[in-house]
Structure 1
Amino acid sequence: MIKTIFKRLGQLLLLVVVLAGSFAAHEWYAQKPFMFRAFLDRTMVKMAFDSPETLTSLGFLESMGIKGHNAELDDDRPEKGDELFAQVEQIHQTLLTYQDEDLSEDDQLSKEIALYLLEFADTAKAFRYHNYPVNQLFGIQNGYPSFMEAQHQVNDVEDAENYLSRLQKVKVKFEQNLQGLKIREDKGIIPPRFVIDRVLEEMTTFVETPVEENILYTSLERKIDEAEDFPAEEKGRILASAQENITQFVHPAYQLFIDYFTKLATKATTDDGFWRLPQGDEAYRQSLKFFTTTDYTPDQIHQTGLVEVDRIQSEILTILASEGYNASNGFTAAIDELAADESQYYADSDEGRAQILEDYQKILDEIEADIDNAFRIRPKAGMEVVRIPEFKEKTSPGAYYQQPAIDGSRPGRFFANLYDIKATPKYSMRTLAYHEGIPGHHFQIAIAMELEGMPLFRRMSPFTAYTEGWALYTEQVAWELGFQDNPLDNVGRLQAELFRAVRLVVDTGIHAKRWTREQAINYMKANTGMAESDVISEIERYIVMPGQATSYKTGMMKILELRTKAQNALGDEFDLRDFHDVVLKNGAVPLAILERLIDNYIAEKQAG
């Protein structure tokens, strides 16, 4: 978890070159820079420069002719994790030497947020191996080809040579990750059997695919073809080398994992929750604390979910009854009737899927053009809708967002899963587009990245309850603003909120109350009306990402609570644009800090 935290923080270096150039020698090399902001930014810069993959993703050094990092992959040895924890401890000690009375109000807030992260990292150290780094959703086995396809740019022969270098070095990277997997095995932290079966299927399919059809080959070929002025005489040589490297280095790397997980499967069980692991209950509570930024217990979260499920289902039934659907036989029957309406789906064809992407973009363009009455601040970065790569969409979630490149070379992207056409009913599309795109993740993440005068780490602090809570909150905002005037679109919105409420129940059910995977699937299917393929994918996600799914509804409920608090306190003086400014202009923060920021806004407004 700690590695993920700081790797994500390292993705904020829009001004790295400017900052590095502006640091005085003392500020760059001193253990304690004179300027507090310099200390914070320098820390993030140094961490990012220790990750060639992060530098590639940021894509700003290339414009200066610096490309050597694009030939390298991150060092994933367990020893690097040890070094990171030692580095975190040193950062913590130095941070405490800056006295609050010497800092501005904004710097004090930055210090408080940094301390929150560092102190959590110290607590989480004992649970650094309580995870499944190779699973059906993410891990090096699908993260590596996705990274090479989406992040590694090929505009000239040097870029292509660097691509070939990374193909050669992938076996070392897999070997390093294998060390960590074996440490987990020794500690009794073994994925459930279905996870192993899924990744074995994924990796076996990957290596059995003809090299010329492998995404690592086809992506390189496409990039060469799209590159301006790429020497035609070099294309054949590069692609021949890529074919050889995939055969000699990439496939053997995957075979290492295939062999390992085949043996590990004999030790795996069909129990799915964290409760079964050594110190599993404590590890789960730590995960809940990290993702919700609260001290809520599993029981509290579970009960909140049950109450919200009942409330939201009642609202949905009321709407469906008014639209002529039979709501007298209960929630599941009514939702099934709606789901059976073929008019609510696109054609199960390439043309139908292309139309879905086009319609998603129209929805986003429409709301972006007409929300000035709710938002003053807007991101400069644009966004686009693309399909999740087909090779991994079967086990991917329904959608996800990818932040824009800091140098402006790539817009924000809303990735849509089009594997099962029944998982994309028309009445759910608006809500999903608002959540992943505008004014949801794209607004929050892109605005945070573009904030001026704020320490780099605050531009994308990894507080999931805030980020996912915001995205879920904006689904309701879009409805309140009139963008879902079709009652069935509102059913789609409520279904999405119900989905997050159910998550509170099933996540805690699996990891604290010893539910089986099948119990969780049955509960979610019965209480959401989602397509079975989506339900299975979601439940399997919660099993490998304990606690993460509880952050959405927890964060949304807190933001709505704070908005109501401000409305009640300010009355006619309340302006939704002001409220959104306070929430968005401070970057992601723990929920308790967000509440204090809103309290300060209320007090300032009341003071006139």
Structure 2
Amino acid sequence: MIKKTFKWLGFLLLTAIVIGGSFAAYEWNADKPLRFRSFVDREVLKMAFESPETLTSLGFLESLGITGHNAKLDDASLAKADELFIKLKEVHKTLSYYENDNLSKEDLLSKEIALYLLDFAKNSEQFRYHNYPVNQLFGIQNGYPSFMEAQHQINSTDDVENYLSRLELIKIKFTQELEGIKLREAKGIIPPLFVIERVLEEMNTLVDKPIKENILYTSLAKKMTDSGNIDNAEQADLLAKAKVNIAEYVHPAYKLLINYFTNLQSKATTDDGFWRLPNGEEAYENSLKFFTTTDYTPQYIHDLGIKEVNRIQTEIMTILAEQSYDVSQGFSDAIEKLAAQESFYYEDSDAGRAKILVDYQKILDEIDAGLDSAFRIRPEAGMEVVRIPEFKEKTAPGAYYQQPAIDGSRPGRFFANLYDIKATPKYSMRTLAYHEGIPGHHFQIAVAMELEGLPLFRMFSPFTAYVEGWALYSEYLAWEMGFQDDPFDNIGRLQAELFRAVRLVVDTGIHYKKWTREQAIDYMKVNTGMAQSDVVSEIERYIVMPGQATSYKVGMMKILELREKAKTALGDKFDLRDFHDVVLKNGAVPLNILERFIDDYIAQTLKK
């Protein structure tokens, strides 16, 4: 259904532009469109049209012959951010004018979800600067080259000219980003020292590298060659222009941030939690509420994590004992012995890393062919496994999923981090593939994008507890269905769940209980047995993304709780396919709304 959504968006836009005075034009321009769906889609589209980078990522205008946005970058100024908050309040006001009695069941749900998000945005405005826009995980310094490499398509010389234009504009955007970072400094919101050290290392590495080895250069060269539409002489000329633009615009932009963060180091501390910031404790509680879509307190989440850590470790130790491992010295010792076995790892070479990608794809193809007993609803979009770009894999997470293009031109992608070969034991690969790919993120996110009649904003609703809870639930589901019958694969699954339970402890430990970075690293290392490089990367992630890591386990436990609730109530009438239909067919939602869906499903099924 991705293409149907794409056609609807194109129709709404083109008819508004071309057919002046028509119903579609009225819906586009009216203060309160007649159709509720027209209003919510229109507002998302208008916001998207003010973000050239979003339009490039969505990829639906190119098929209409509209490409001018691909020559521009987003406005990252403080004034533009102020405009957004004003706009959201205006949207909230207009939404209230749509009477519930006049809306369909589907539109009522969309209104409820929209108001949930808008109310949260209004209440969170006081914390809008409680973040670190440039950090070791994300920010303009790595987001810009990643965007240009992954999203900017090259099929013609015009596309290359647009690419070159974006190289020229980068210094303006960096300057705008710096404006917001300086305001945060004035408010006492300064990143921890290690964050500054990481981003300086990353930016200096990019600037110091020869231009012909810069990802902005190499990516363009590869895309032009792959397009098959640009002759060699023209490619050489365009690459020469790109080299000049990188030297004259890109490098100076990076040096702006390098100089700023170099000077900022003397003001930074080694305290890492949000508790140290002005109103930091309130900001953290707000972040937990956003990511979990619950009112759980930091203390409750911390205690829940400790309980789950103990339970899961006991299960792992039982399996290890059954496999004749010595568990007498405790969990950490037993896991280290398991992790030390060379037979569980690929060769530390380019060939070994290539084999990992091939084997990931085999795992996904296998489970994709064996899910008919559990799913009716499936995405049309395909998916592929690719390596996280090497320039950022050192500080990147172990893996992540990238949604398909809305017009179907790009499949969903499972990005695997292959920096540290010891971070990819063979017994963990199935679990990671099920989480990021099938039936995890790919099924949930791609299905949401393809649902017919779903407003655009609900295709990308930022309800992390639902999204990540589903992916973690998918790991458990795959084990239930027999795809991890090897006991070591099951240990890999349990280690992944343990990892998420530990997150509950360390995230709240850092931001609520005032743990140091080193305390959190030690706790995670001892209680998971993960590779040291992964532990450090993860703890540093939680420091710059407070609360996000708690959403996985909270969401998974809620989905399992609701499934058990439905099983108990329905008995023989329970069908796993029906349950998954209910969970997936409405896109991402807050957990309390998901529970209402399941309650309705139970009531309706009992009536049959």
What's the TM-score bracket when you normalise by the shorter of the two chains?
over 0.9
Unaligned runs of 5+ in 1: 1-11
| TM-score where L is the length of structure 2 | 0.97
Alignment map for 1:407-422 (pairs within 5 Å): 407-422=407-422
Residue in structure 2 matched with residue 547 of structure 1 by the alignment: 547
Residue in structure 2 matched with residue 393 of structure 1 by the alignment: 393
Q: Is the 8 A contact 2:203 2:254 kept in 1?
A: yes
Q: Following the alignment from structure 1 to structure 2, what is the Cα–Cα distance between the partners of residues 63 and 233?
A: 28
Residue in structure 2 matched with residue 470 of structure 1 by the alignment: 470
Q: Following the alignment from structure 2 to structure 1, what is the Cα–Cα distance between the partners of residues 12 and 438?
A: 31
Q: Following the alignment from structure 2 to structure 1, what is the Cα–Cα distance between the partners of residues 202 and 318?
A: 43
SS at match of 1:393: coil
State the percentage of identical aligned residues. Answer: 72
Q: How many residues align?
A: 597
Alignment map for 1:192-591 (pairs within 5 Å): 192-591=192-591
Q: Following the alignment from structure 1 to structure 2, what is the Cα–Cα distance between the partners of residues 18 and 540?
A: 45
Deviates more, 1:70-79 or 1:325-334: 325-334
- How big is the alpha-carbon RMSD for the aligned residues of Structure 1 and Structure 2? 0.9
| TM-score where L is the length of structure 1 | 0.97
Runs (4 or more) in structure 1 with deviation over 6 Å come to none
Deviation of 1:14 after TM superposition, in Å, equals 6.6
Residue in structure 1 matched with residue 93 of structure 2 by the alignment: 93
Q: Following the alignment from structure 2 to structure 1, what is the Cα–Cα distance between the partners of residues 440 and 24?
A: 39
Q: Following the alignment from structure 1 to structure 2, what is the Cα–Cα distance between the partners of residues 566 and 132?
A: 42
Deviation of 1:605 after TM superposition, in Å, equals 0.3
* 1:215-241, Cα deviation, whole Å (9 max, x unpaired): 000111111111122133311221111
* 1:352-377, Cα deviation, whole Å (9 max, x unpaired): 10100000000000000011000000
* 1:30-72, Cα deviation, whole Å (9 max, x unpaired): 1111111111111111111111001111112112221111100
Q: Following the alignment from structure 2 to structure 1, what is the Cα–Cα distance between the partners of residues 208 and 556?
A: 44
Q: Is the 8 A contact 1:399 1:416 kept in 2?
A: yes
Residue type of the alignment partner of 1:400? Y
Q: Following the alignment from structure 1 to structure 2, what is the Cα–Cα distance between the partners of residues 16 and 189?
A: 40
Q: Is the 8 A contact 1:13 1:456 kept in 2?
A: no
Residue in structure 2 matched with residue 20 of structure 1 by the alignment: 13
Residue in structure 1 matched with residue 162 of structure 2 by the alignment: 162
Deviation of 1:324 after TM superposition, in Å, equals 1.1
Q: Following the alignment from structure 2 to structure 1, what is the Cα–Cα distance between the partners of residues 343 and 570?
A: 45
Q: Is the 8 A contact 2:78 2:179 kept in 1?
A: yes
Q: Is the 8 A contact 2:95 2:111 kept in 1?
A: yes
Residue type of the alignment partner of 1:20? L
Q: Is the 8 A contact 2:10 2:64 kept in 1?
A: no
Residue type of the alignment partner of 1:284? Y
Q: Is the 8 A contact 2:6 2:407 kept in 1?
A: no
Q: Following the alignment from structure 1 to structure 2, what is the Cα–Cα distance between the partners of residues 18 and 27?
A: 12
Unaligned runs of 5+ in 2: 16-22
SS at match of 2:26: helix
Q: Following the alignment from structure 2 to structure 1, what is the Cα–Cα distance between the partners of residues 497 and 234?
A: 53
SS at match of 1:400: strand
* 1:157-187, Cα deviation, whole Å (9 max, x unpaired): 1111111000000000000000000000000
Q: Is the 8 A contact 1:13 1:58 kept in 2?
A: no
Deviation of 1:453 after TM superposition, in Å, equals 1.0
- Tell me whether 1:34 sits opposite 2:27 in the alignment: no
Residue type of the alignment partner of 1:532? Q
* 1:180-202, Cα deviation, whole Å (9 max, x unpaired): 00000000000000000000000
Q: Is the 8 A contact 2:469 2:553 kept in 1?
A: yes
Q: Is the 8 A contact 1:95 1:111 kept in 2?
A: yes
Q: Following the alignment from structure 1 to structure 2, what is the Cα–Cα distance between the partners of residues 441 and 587?
A: 12
* 1:102-144, Cα deviation, whole Å (9 max, x unpaired): 1111111111100000000001100100000100000000000
Residue in structure 1 matched with residue 43 of structure 2 by the alignment: 43
Residue type of the alignment partner of 2:585? K
